[in-house]
Amino acid sequence: MKKIPSLLLVCLILLALLGGCAPRGQLLVPESEAESRWQAFMQLSSRPAEDDMLSGSLRFGPEGDTRRVTYVLWTRSEVDLSAEKDGHGPAGLDTADFGSDMPGDARAIRLEVNAGVGANVAKALFDNGRMLVVLPRDQKAYAGVETAENLRRLLGLPLPFSMNRLNDFLAGRYLSALDVTAPERYLSGDDGNIIYLCRSEGRACELELNAEARPVRWSMSGRWTLDIAYGDDALPYKLDGRMEGEQPLRMVLLVKERRSAGTLPGLSMELEVPQDIAVYSLDQ
């Protein structure tokens, strides 16, 4: 009979030792610490929007068969689209496309994509939920609603965010980019990180914050999983993404330079569509 208490004691000691290892996903973080880090994340995400220019590289495609391009991306708070006449104006979009029912965003984004030195493969303007993409090699241009499907049709990759949200994320405005609800649960992660279980666009997602309350991993059910690395300026410089499925996809985005767009007067928000290039609608 004396062996039973001893056996129970051994079991309790083993459970205590196993619990002390704090395996990933076990709820061991004090609630106050989890709440404090989430509040720090919200405060960190509230940096003001600025007109920036980013340049770097993007490698993407099916796992094991990716291709590399370089990009230049810049923003402006306001864009005058009143000059559009026939789809070949300075911005290249018909003003009728910008109705009051479109999602409101005061920032426009210009994007240039190159496959080599001087080899421009795409020019794009994103504004108010719509986009214009010019493909010089194909001598074609496309205009329509900015959706993941349209971006995939033109660029070959379903990006993890819209262009405005991607720009916000790279600029450190994480909460605006991720558009997550208040956390439903939280779990312990590696290296003192905390994993928050949230919802975004109706899907379950996980957001892992490090000790500085910066996102180091983001995953959404059925979509991308992103690992995020930071530069000396404490802003993201690398997004390493994977999407599972019948044909797994891979994406590695690097930010190699950041500058204020105001110091680069040659960066125009206008996107000229040559008269000999046909503009096709993506909305039909």
- Tell me if 181 sits within 8 A of 200, measured CB to CB: yes
Q: Quick one: which of 91, 92, 111, 93 has its CA closest to 102? A: 93
DSSP state of 167: H
Q: What is the pLDDT of residues 213-254, one digit of tens each?
A: 999 999 998 889 999 999 999 999 999 999 988 888 899 999
Q: pTM (2 decimals)?
A: 0.80
Q: 43-90 pLDDT, tens per residue?
A: 999 988 887 899 999 999 888 888 899 999 999 765 544 333 344 443
Helices marked H in 110-173: 148-155, 163-170
More reliable by pLDDT, 97 or 201: 201
Q: How far is 32 from 20, CA to CA, in rounded Å?
A: 19
At residue 19, the pLDDT reads: 44
Which pLDDT score is estimated for 149?
A: 84
Tens digit of each residue's pLDDT (9 = 90 or more) over 115-169: 977 789 999 999 989 999 999 999 999 999 998 888 888 877 678 888 989 999 9
Query: Helix (H, G, I), strand (E, B), or coil: what is residue 114?
Result: strand
CB 120 within 8 A of CB 90: no
In our burial notation (b when 16+ CB lie closer than 10 A, e otherwise), range 185-211 reads: ebbbbeeebbbbebbbeeeebbbbbbe
Alpha carbons 23 and 45: distance in angstroms, whole number: 29
* pLDDT reported for residue 188: 94
Strands 108-116 and 119-127: antiparallel
> What residue type is assigned to position 150 of the chain?
N
Q: Which domains does the chain have, with CATH numbers?
A: 42-281 (2.50.20.10)
Report the distance separating Cα 171 and Cα 49, nearest Å. 8
Asked whether residue 93 carries a pLDDT value surpassing 60, the answer given is no
- 52-62 vs 249-260, strand pairing mode: antiparallel
Q: What is the mean pLDDT of residues 11-32?
A: 56
Helix (H) or strand (E) holding 218: strand 215-220
